[in-house]
Copies of this chain bind each other. A is one copy, B any other.
Amino acid sequence: MLFLYICGMNLSNDLLIRAAKGEKVERTPVWLMRQAGRILPEYRKIRNSLSGFKELVETPSLAAEVTIQPVDILDVDAAIIFSDILVVPDAMGLSYEMIEKKGPFFRTTIQSQKDLESIEIPDVEDKLSYVFEAIKITKKELNGRVPLIGFAGAPWTIFSYMTEGQGSKTFSKAKKMLYQNPTLSHQLLNKITDTTILYLKAQIRAGADLVQVFDSWAGILNKEQYLEFGMKYVNKICDAIDEVPVTVFSKGAYSTLHEMAQLNCNTIGLDWNMDVQNAKNIFNNNKTLQGNLDPCALYSDFKTIETKTNLMLNKFGNSRHIANLGHGLYPDINPENVKCFIETVKAYNYQNK
């Protein structure tokens, strides 16, 4: 029984897992990127009682609590562990701060061979124990209601922050390194990849039922560069994870969708600009597709949200689809509008399409 539980087989709602594997589902499962977070007053109450974002990420009982909030409040078909992709560089020895209204900031960045040697492939079980503890608490409290999604940033996206030091419109410092020092770039990407594989495997051991890799900055590289510095490492991760289904979400990777069809993963996330029919043609039922309503559509009135959600569901059809947004929820979206989206997916009648 314990074994079955750990393997995520004992779920009363396993729609997400079956949809990811391409199995038959009674209806399309639905969850939302950034569902645990600022849109919920219940989240803000906890967040505001703390010194900062990192305290929440690093306190397992609270991270578990905000992870479960959207399951209780929004009735989504999956929980995703509340954390941040930047815990990986943090564990490697490159610490970040989360600055209110500005985003992440690294005091030091990787610029040289010496910098590279100053960071390590850490003992993740030790350095990231707070994440695994949060996963264990969440799994226990969810008690099989819905699957729990683990996640990590893709190596290129983590590399971008470790070299750029903060968010950027162009990530020109990160890209500069690719051009000026491809060898160092690959060394850093390899170190991140090795850490990420260890990290995801430990999340799975702790109880994650599915893992998602977020390549948030895929879209700033051209095709040639994304294949060399981005997808190559996503590929390594996909090949290394065979315990649970894997989802890859490469935002803005319009020019490499054909190559993504070769990834050893179950699900491909589509951003709101990606054409659903084009993606269906490319992935040809060999992958489940996840997405992709424009998050800003949730600023509309209920009627418009229903119309746009049904339109999206029509495009994807009734198999190999996990309903989601094409990007994370924005903080000022009304939770009632999010509920409208979720209820529309659940009420969708396949005969309508």
Contacts of A43 in B (CB 8 A): none
A295 at the interface (CB under 8 A from B): yes
* Chain B residues, CB < 8 A from A272: 222
A179 touches B219 (CB 8 A): no
Contact assessment for B327 and A275 in the assembled complex, using a CB-CB cutoff below 8 Å: no
| Interface window among A167-175, A191-199, A202-210 | A167-175
- Cα A179 to Cα B300 with chains together (Å): 5
Flag A290-310 by CB within 8 Å of B: 1 or 0 each.
000011110110001000000
Contact of A176 among B254, B296, B327 (CB under 8 A): B296
Q: Which residues of B contact A273 (CB under 8 A)?
A: 219-223, 254-255
Q: Which of A147-197 contact B (CB under 8 A)?
A: 167, 169-170, 172, 175-176, 178-180
**Which residues of B lie under 8 Å from residue A299 when comparing CB positions?**
172, 175-176, 179-180
Please provide the chain A residues from 276 to 318 with a CB less than 8 Å away from any CB of chain B in the complex.
294-297, 299-300, 304
A272 and chain B: residue at smallest CB distance: B222
Does A330 have its Cβ within 8 Å of any Cβ on chain B? yes
Chain B residues with Cβ under 8 A from A255's Cβ?
Answer: 273, 275
Closest to A167 in B: B169
- What's the least CB distance linking A166 to chain B, in Å? 12
A26–chain B nearest beta-carbon distance, Å: 29
- Given A167-B169, A222-B294, A180 and B300 contact (CB-CB distance below 8 Å): yes
Complexed CA–CA distance, A167 and B102 (Å): 13
- Oligomeric state, in copies: 2
Interface magnitude class on chain A: 20 to 34
- Chain B nearest Cβ from A223, distance in angstroms: 7
- The chain B residue sitting closest to A301, CB to CB, is B180
- Chain B residues with Cβ below 8 Å from A179 are 296-297, 299-300, 304
How far apart are A164's CB and chain B's nearest CB, in angstroms?
A: 12
Chain A residues numbered 4-29 whose CB sits less than 8 Å from any CB in chain B: none
Residues from chain B with Cβ under 8 Å of A175 in the complex: 294, 296, 299
Instruction: Select which of B170, B225, B254, B300 is within 8 A of A327 by beta carbon.
Output: B170
CB distance from A324 to the nearest CB of B (A): 15
How far, in angstroms, from A221 to B297 measured CA to CA in the complex? Answer: 11
Distance, CA A222 to CA B297, complexed state (A): 11
Q: Are A178 and B296 in contact (CB under 8 A)?
A: yes
Residues of chain B contacted by A295 (CB below 8 angstroms):
170, 172
- Beyond the given pairs A172-B295, A179-B296, A179-B297, 16 more chain A to chain B contacts, judged by CB atoms under 8 angstroms and listed by A's residue number, are A172-B299, A172-B332, A175-B296, A176-B296, A176-B299, A178-B296, A179-B299, A219-B273, A220-B273, A221-B273, A222-B272, A222-B294, A222-B326, A223-B273, A225-B294, A254-B273
Residues of A within 8 A of B (CB): 167, 169-170, 172, 175-176, 178-180, 219-223, 225, 254-255, 272-273, 275, 294-297, 299-300, 304, 326-327, 330, 332
Q: List 14 A-B contacts (CB under 8 A).
A: A167-B169, A169-B169, A170-B295, A170-B327, A172-B295, A172-B330, A172-B332, A175-B299, A179-B296, A179-B297, A179-B299, A179-B300, A220-B273, A254-B273
